[in-house]
Amino acid sequence: DAKTTQPNSMESNEEEPVHLPCNHSTISGTDYIHWYRQLPSQGPEYVIHGLTSNVNNRMASLAIAEDRKSSTLILHRATLRDAAVYYCILRDSNSGNTPLVFGKGTRLSVIA
């Protein structure tokens, strides 16, 4: 599986935007970029995914670099509930079976 690199931790003030970076310099053309997050004492939850174009949904935006070697998850207004570990994961669309392979992720703290 292609690898991703994320900062260990980040901090944000409440109601401010948060940009969570992910480097994936060995990404292949068929790899989807997925983001999941895990709130304290809960199972992971899906946030967003994309292939080449930027994506928006009700939770976040995903900005993908033109060369696809990095991406950024954007939370537009952080709330205390967004404090979690955020995982950036690559999944190969060429394979019919592509489970999630979690890296260490970024622990996001949100300060009131």
Query: For the purposes of burial, counting CB atoms within 10 Å of the CB of 27, is it exposed (0-12), middle (13-18) or buried (19 or more)?
Result: buried
Q: How far is the CB of 93 from other proteins (least distance, A)?
A: 4
Residue 75: strand, helix, or coil: strand
Kindly tell me which of 14 and 32 has the beta carbon lying closer to other proteins.
Answer: 32
Q: How far is the CB of 44 from other proteins (least distance, A)?
A: 5
In the complex, which residues of this chain contact other proteins (CB under 8 A)?
A: 30-32, 36, 38, 42-46, 49, 85, 87, 91-93, 95-105
Kindly tell me which of 105 and 108 has the beta carbon lying closer to other proteins.
Answer: 105
| CB contact at 8 A, 74 and 62 | yes
Which residue, among 34, 80, 41, has the nearest Cα to 57 in the 3D structure? 34
Kindly tell me which of 82 and 87 has the beta carbon lying closer to other proteins.
Answer: 87
